[in-house]
Amino acid sequence: MPKIDKKLKAIDFFCSGGGMSFGLQKAGIKILAGIDFDPDCKLTYEANIKGAKYILKDVSKLKEEFLEDELDIKKNDDSLILAGCSPCQYWTIIRTNKNKSEKSKNLLHEFHRFIKYYNPGYVIVENVPGILSKHKESGLDKFVKELEIQGYEVTYDVVNLNNYGVPETRKRFSLIANRVNKNKIFPKPKKTKPVVSDFIGEKNGFAKIAAGHKDLSSFMHSVAGLSEKNIKRLKLTPKNGGSRKSWADTDLQIDAYKKTGSNISFNDTYGRMSWDKPAPTITTKFFSLSNGRFGHPEENRAISIREGATLQTFPGTYKFIGKSISSIARMIGNAVPPLYAKQIGEVIIKDYE
């Protein structure tokens, strides 16, 4: 790990299990604190982000001056970075229940309160692509305009993280605002695009396991159980990228897909990943076959908790602490891949120096 440059420091809003914090820390930035209202993330964050505080608060109810006293930070500090990676499922392009995520739609505005108050040197935003495609409704237009009025040079784009060394086809909105010297800064894509076999499989330290396997070690190579019917379905699904079409005309077909035309919807569900392609986006439900192409490329099971974390570029030593597979998977799926966060940190450090 590089020597931490104490000149640059960051506060990670909506930090979840610490993906952004961990990546920035690996780049050489001191993490002062992570802020999140989810108590399930506290132990995981504190176990991995050494030297940082976990502030268990709802940002929408947090007063700006609270951080001044709690973290001893000052306004107009060029070396301060505020990162905001809010869980804006409300603006996702994936069809979800918007009622459940109603509260998340205004988190960009809540984050901006702190930017206006502290006027940090740099601002980072990472979010779903829908925040840009719905830029007026999401408040992005207003957010960017106010940053520019405040004196920031703002650079943003929707990027496929596979172009940045992450073995997923994960598209995300990324923004970096720079007040220090008005340079446009943004990570540059890498020349090579990694695939599933670069990160998981026996050659990468993942033993073969069966559905329902529980790994009680901190490695957490644990996997959800499967019904006998689902195991039969996987056995009929061709290895290395096969889909549920292979058993569509058998008695194993799922009732919801029996209607005319419905079989072409959600083609990835119950499918296997391919060794030689990037994984699909690792979501909060990656441990479940029915929620995407999350079948192991050749074993008759979904991918494990550690495999999902590894595809999100968390190292094997990263400790996940939670009450259940689903709570840990939520932290992993919501995370900013640390490898990408590190690249964001590196371009800020280079600019600052």
Q: Known catalytic residues?
A: 88
- Give the single-character DSSP code of 251: T
Cα–Cα distances (Å) from 293 to 118, 142, 244, 282, in that order, read 43, 37, 10, 10
Contact in structure between 168 and 280 (CB atoms under 8 Å): yes
Which SS3 state, helix, strand or coil, does residue 164 take?
A: helix
Cα–Cα nearest to 94, from 288, 272, 296, 281? 281
Q: Which amino acid is at 168?
A: E
- Distance (Å, rounded) from C-alpha 145 to C-alpha 151? 10
Cα–Cα nearest to 132, from 123, 124, 144, 122? 144
User: Alpha helix (H) ranges present in the chain?
Assistant: 19-27, 42-48, 66-71, 107-118, 130-133, 135-138, 140-149, 228-236, 305-311, 325-334, 338-352
